[in-house]
Structure 1
């Protein structure tokens, strides 16, 4: 069972730039790579199919992701919240998908080895697998098809948090601070690290 990767990349990040002039996903890391490209590349290194969800006016984000080999899908309802993007991607993955690794476009420091560990947990029978770094649960999160109905019923801006709160989660200890580091503010861009 190989999960389908879902990269949620429809947000712009109002905390990063309240004016909306700069899309944080296109900002450059110290390596010179755009934030969303790094996030996508690490997912693509682990799973053969990655669905990248973008909003209707994503332009350059869609171009970057498509060039990397992601299957870019546009979610017209992305403005309603993260759940709309996730539901859109899960629907798009059917009927073939048996499991999903849900990653965030603004988390470029997650190591491919961590994603492989989550895939292995799903393959070993976990219904939900989430990484833990120094006691903090992070992202991405893996879901088996057991939770298909719950994933398709999601609403709002909390993503799949309600599913995680209501069900047993296989917690996978990782030595990867990238699972708890996202790009929320401009200072976060300088945290570049070796993510292999």
Structure 2
């Protein structure tokens, strides 16, 4: 977000901070639990969602990149012993509860034996559901990369679920926030 000190997850969409909107959508879908991994400005992020039914975990190593947040989130989720973990990025304002439910349903339909990936027009995006058989690999990721290489190199089948533009629209810049209908706040 440049030198402004603003945080993309505190940008408002229809008057609601993006992190709150994302946490509400995740909490209202077919998931059994929601874990929110915080990093930069974690107190502000936590304050935006403290009244929601989510588990907050802080990643003090967030400056090292996205992989450390994935590892922290997977480690926290393992306590619930899920057959799969959906990794959802909170900076995707076009995602809906129906999108998440269709991804979860596909994972259940395939008996938790594959990776389920959201796509838009055949182009891979997010969220992605990973089965428990590769949690260790998710926790071993490093740097500022997500799990794209892990997906490519996995021997598990990858099932794409078409959800439309919600799979691709994320807001990493002030211009992207504005283009998606958001208002950047400090």
Structure 1 unaligned runs (5+)? 1-16
Alignment correspondent of 1:108? 93
Q: How does 1:133-152 map to 2 (within 5 A)?
A: 133-152=120-139
Distance 1:158 1:23 in 2: 20
Find runs of 4+ consecutive structure 1 residues off by over 4 angstroms.
none
Contact 1:38 1:109 in 2 (8 A): no
CA displacement 1:64-109 (0-9 Å, x = unmatched): 1222222111111111111101111111122422211100111121
Q: How does 1:118-157 map to 2 (within 5 A)?
A: 118-125=103-110, 126-157=113-144
- Please provide the CA RMSD for this pair: 1.8
User: For the structure 1 residues 132 and 98, does the alpha-carbon distance in structure 2 shift closer, same or farther, using more than 3 Å as the test?
Assistant: same
Cα deviation, residue 139, structure 1: 0.7
CA displacement 1:35-66 (0-9 Å, x = unmatched): 11122211111123110000264111111122
Count of aligned residue pairs for this structure pair: 175
User: For the structure 1 residues 40 and 100, does the alpha-carbon distance in structure 2 shift closer, same or farther, using more than 3 Å as the test?
Assistant: same
Give secondary structure in 2 for the equivalent of 1:139: strand
Distance 2:143 2:166 in 1: 25
Cα deviation, residue 129, structure 1: 0.3
Distance 2:32 2:7 in 1: 27
Structure 2 unaligned runs (5+)? none
Of 78, 82, 88, which aligns to 1:97? Answer: 82
Contact 1:36 1:108 in 2 (8 A): no
Does residue 25 of structure 2 align to residue 36 of structure 1? no
Does residue 158 of structure 2 align to residue 169 of structure 1? yes
User: For the structure 1 residues 162 and 20, does the alpha-carbon distance in structure 2 shift closer, same or farther, using more than 3 Å as the test?
Assistant: farther
Normalised by the length of structure 2, the TM-score is 0.86
Distance 1:41 1:160 in 2: 24
Contact 2:8 2:177 in 1 (8 A): no
Cα deviation, residue 187, structure 1: 3.1
